[in-house]
Structure 1
Amino acid sequence: MKEDEMHDTIRALYQGIFDADAWQRSLAALCQSSGSVHAALVVRDTVRDRVLVNQVVNPVPEEVAAYRDYYEALDPAIPFVSQLTVGNWYIDSRELGEQAMRRLPFYGEFFRQFGLSSLMACLIERQPHYEVFLSLQRPEGGARYSTEDARALDWAIPHVRHAIALRDRTRQVSTLAHVSAELLERLPFAVIVFAEDGQVLLANHAGEAWSRRLMPVAAVGAGVGTARADEWRLSRPFPEVLRAAVDPTTVQPAQALRATGPDGREAQVVVLPLPAAHHLAVDWQHPAALVAVHEAGAPALGIAGVLRELYGLTPAEIRLANLLTTGIGLPEACEQLGIRRETSRTQLKAIFTKTGTGTQAQLAHLLTRLGVVLGAGQAPSGEQA
């Protein structure tokens, strides 16, 4: 392989961390330069003693299926590859010899059926539960692999190993980020991380809306201090609260303010400082603030099923419990539900008995804890599954 082709192959390996097509191009280049018809990454599960073939150049599904279903048990390479050290090669003609290869069913049946003649594989990575190999196969009629063929590819092995490690780490980080985002979206309240200049570093969907309410962009033509009719009113200017929270010269365990919507709804805004050493400030070491906004609104999605499974509450009891946790009194709850006062007292007594609570405050605290990862609801919880 020419030097510029080697550089292109190395570049494609690292581009393959994010681009599967680039990874395939690099394997195809190694395949072509070694006179191979197939190249693949092979993962051996050392716990279950099974082999998984993936990232194949010129894949033949029937070949992979035949190997998995029958010929894996006859593969003469397996006893040898388990003894390899990282970076070393298994070469069938060297380890088995020509005579053994001619009489083994693995070659006489399997390889002949799919037009193959020789195999070599390099151990790329060994972990407690799995091993990763770069496997190459030559077509029938070609020369057997030799030590020189393996040596000609040694330059690529460190790059393959590093690219795989980076790709695995990237996938782990990506998975963690995805799970973290899903978790944030499950929270029934807004979460925002503000930088000291008001920039939003992180937010869930509810937090995105609240970031615009807390740090609104001035409307064109609006006078200073002029509030729009549809704006939420804050008990304290949020920029001042944010500055206090991120001020490194003062210790502010928490800041809080009330927000009142145009329809009279209320929300509680809690602002907690994040120290300069937090992960989002690694590069610039600036403080930030974590903001949580709790709105009074619909009960959490799925809370009805949780209450039914844990405490055996009936749909009517669930509807009453959810209404009472919004802070309204029993008379208002009766009016909204269209039930008699005596009925509500009977239901409330049953709710307290079943849940082990004795006051509306205790009941509200219980439902808040149970619904913290269920997400905010839209419909009366008693009607949900």
Structure 2
Amino acid sequence: MENQQRNFGTWQITSIMISSMIGVGILTIPRTSTMLLQQAGWIGPISGALIAGVAVTAIVYLGNQFPGLTFVEFMPRIFGSVIGTMCICLFILYQFFNAGITARVFGEVVVTSVLPDTPLEVIIVTLLLLVLFLCCHEIEVVARVNELLIPFLLLPSLLIPLVSFMNADWYNLLPFHVESWTDVVKTGLDTYTLYTGYELLMVYFAFAIPGARLGVASITGMSFAFVVYMISVIAGISVFGYEELQRLIWPTLELVKVTQRTGWFLERFESAFLAIWVASVFTTIGNMFYATIFSLRQWFRKGIRFQRISAIVMMVPLFFFSLIPQNIVELYSYLKHLTTMGYMVTIFIPILLAITQFMRNKINKGRKENIEKGGT
């Protein structure tokens, strides 16, 4: 790996994972989880985490098998040059589209909640310029930024849902009953998308220092995201009830407003929450777009200058792509299509890579033992 040092510690990888997973999804998860499961919506984050957990396990296995290598380098070794190249293209496109849609959702939230008179384009451009600045630096800067901002993300993500329990009506969670396990699986496939971001570890694992505990970092990151989503869903159901949640566009933001009326010292508590949430979305999009640009840099075997030029060039189509949906309904339609693409990139490909590599190791080990036996 040219001019790149492996200097990410276990905590830095954990920070990148948490920041990549917790973003715009935290505002909608109470509604997503209760759409089919109703008062049993708290099962949604559990089933979603189980699905994501299988893919994360596969990525950790690949990270340990190919230390110091990103997916751009090890994918052709496992799948061959043709299929490997197709998978690399798919990964890069998915991250590009995901960054664009996430930027648009961010813009919609800010425009509808706190800055109604500010043009949507201005909000998105401001965010993307910050991301562009991040992409003009070497990869260790990404780790430092995530590490610096993670405390601002951790506390509010847990504190606000917990405080909103003061307004909870626990009868809203009853009865404890699941009508259809098919709905549990469907909800799991919907809520797993809120954990996506873990696939970026196929890039960032390559920079872990020798001896960094990739498994511990992954379990810690997944566990924190799971706890945050679980508490948010339980708070949403217990405060509003599942019927009311279906009428709210940003349920978690409404939780913040309810919390505000319980005697907190801030007059506009949701503004403070969104200020912190901006940092969370910035790291999410920053990690995605950096992984996209850095993967292109590695693919073409270029240096930091190529990375900077690519970031500037690709930022233009990214901005226009984020503006394609005409309204919130179209935006959710695009999100649905992106989710379908995400199944391939974030679940199918990592698991298939891990299984193929595992089988290859088994076959090579068997051959080696046969050769040793034949030699004796």
Into which bin does the TM-score normalised by the smaller protein fall?
under 0.3
Query: Which of the two has greater strand per residue?
Result: 1
TM-score, normalised with respect to structure 1:
0.21
Query: Which of the two has greater helix per residue?
Result: 2
Higher RCO (CA-CA < 8 Å; seq separation 6+): 2
